[in-house]
Amino acid sequence: MTMNSKLMVGNWKMNGSLAANASLLSDTLSGLGGVSCRAAVCVPAPYLAQAHSLLTGSSMALGAQDVSAHESGAYTGEVSANMLRDFAVRYVIVGHSERRQYHGETDAVVATKAQRALAAGITPIVCVGESLAEREAGQTEVVVKRQLAAVIHANGHCISEIVVAYEPIWAIGTGLTATPEQAQAVHAVLRAQLQAATAHADRVSILYGGSMNAANAASLLAQPDVDGGLIGGASLKAPDFVSMLKAASR
């Protein structure tokens, strides 16, 4: 269990438009009365400037969904950590399963991305998680530990500055959620791994992600090692996201 308040992060993925973002953010911000958890939204790169200006002065932090493993230079299409920093980005998702699956990101690339973020003063939200086949083969623990170990080894004493998100691939966007007990079991494994690496493991928020919604958030967040959520689909609906932020504030 961390000493911090819960952290709830929306992951818009490749959704949105100038008009839709403006109404989603305005509806979300107007519902924040009574919300005391930490909150952020990770928006597509072209909308960082828009979201930065709409979130300025609010309690909602800005996040990005990916960052380049390179510092600068001839990497067409990439966005660097320093560019994110220019828009006051506080968090960046690294190693989301969709990037690992569709864009060939290895554990080593993910670890370098986390390093780039930390060097720019941005908190990486490092995603780990097993596929259904891996879970059924009893490999869940081995897989998530391997994914986190790469980031621990690359980042040394800075590791207490990261956020971890456990996202079972079979639960992402499927409506299948890990049970609170399944989530807690994996979160406890990740916490122990962090404790072995740093004396400050209690500073690391471990988020759950994968079909978290307004109906199941409270029971997941009640687990001792579930420090918040990484929320895809439900973060695109302001009333749902606000209700989850409220559940995380109790």
Active site residues: 96, 167
Q: How far is the CB of 3 from ligand PGA (least distance, A)?
A: 25
* Amino acid at the residue 168: P
The residue number whose beta carbon is nearest to ligand PGA equals 232
Residues 168 to 227: which contact ligand PGA by CB under 6 A? 172-173, 209-212
Q: Where are the alpha helices (DSSP H) in 38-179?
A: 48-55, 81-86, 97-102, 107-119, 132-136, 140-155
* Pairing of the two strands 7-11 and 228-231: parallel
* Count of chain residues binding ligand PGA (CB under 6 A): 13
* Residue 227-246 contact track with ligand PGA, rule CB under 6 A, x = bound: ---xxxxx------------
For residues 75 and 115, what is the distance between their CA atoms, to the nearest angstrom?
18
Q: Which is nearer to ligand PGA, 47 or 170 (CB)?
A: 170
Q: Which is nearer to ligand PGA, 132 or 192 (CB)?
A: 132
Residues 78 to 97: which contact ligand PGA by CB under 6 A? none
Question: What crossing angle do the helices spanning 18-30 and 238-247 adopt, rounded to 10°?
Answer: 40
Q: How far is the CB of 165 from ligand PGA (least distance, A)?
A: 7
Our finding on whether 28 is near ligand PGA (CB under 6 A) is no
* Stretch binding ligand PGA (CB under 6 A), from 22-30, 102-110, 130-138, 165-173: 165-173
Our finding on whether 167 is near ligand PGA (CB under 6 A) is yes
CB atoms < 10 A from the CB of 142, how many?
Answer: 12
For residues 200 and 160, what is the distance between their CA atoms, to the nearest angstrom?
6
| E strand spans, the chain | 7-11, 38-43, 60-64, 91-94, 123-128, 163-166, 206-209, 228-231
Q: Which is nearer to ligand PGA, 16 or 233 (CB)?
A: 233
Our finding on whether 16 is near ligand PGA (CB under 6 A) is no
For residues 248 and 131, what is the distance between their CA atoms, to the nearest angstrom?
27
Query: Contact positions toward ligand PGA, by CB under 6 A?
Result: 11, 167, 172-173, 209-212, 230-234
